[in-house]
A and B are shown apart, each in its own frame.
Chain A
């Protein structure tokens, strides 16, 4: 049974090569983003997450909402074990699959098939698992013979198809999603949607950051509203959406 626990977790980014003073002045006027401070060495530090205490349990499908810079992506990366908390403690049980930024790691000179293999290995699949999944992935992309061509010949929509299909091919306990529904034509969106639903149902915990209210309402049974790196509200989806929109 997968579970995630955070206890007073903070994440602070040092920002280098910025003139601390001028940067600070101009940035303080902006309403969005985490709080900006200076550390002992006079570096500018952004507190992207501020003392979060949270628990996600089996069956939680959590929507993550908030303004740009409110800490959604940072939280997802924290859960993916990419960022380590600068303060506080974190415990994650279960195999995590991040679907964050789909593009990095895609080599444009290599063919679609080669990229599927590379991505599969990076995500920790064995050769056999990749082979077993290959049919499903090729079908999901709907790219057919194009998979034998180098990625640089693809249109941007085709690239999204491939990236999505590759990322969607493993079966995680914990699924982290960051705005993956992007380009792609209607036909593909329908297939991607079906795949997403089956992925969501197979995963024990889902955390999904998105700006689309429809997606949140459809897929999430809980919603976490972040503001300036803090929890503004965590619980019922409708209440969270109301809170989020009333503020504007």
Chain B
């Protein structure tokens, strides 16, 4: 099975993606497939400071509870509150409506995986 891996995003080994233009963060299609039905998402508040590759939240599925890691440092400027009522958006549209938060990016993204590198990792 092959998964969608948009070219214009950067990725962490732990399956989070970040859009370098908008600072938007979420988890990959592969990750949501591994997790199974997502039932709960815990996210930071707007204004919180995140550090690159440290935990910013939790995603819980019927199979597992996993920490979420931030692909970049920066300030949270928006949180996708729709996920609190409809966590299934993470499954249905992980790169779209299932986004988790937006960050005012304050770190470089050089250490992150490109779409190709991420594709190799999940092969």
- Do A and B come from the same complex? no
Chain A interfacial positions (CB closer than 8 Å to B): none
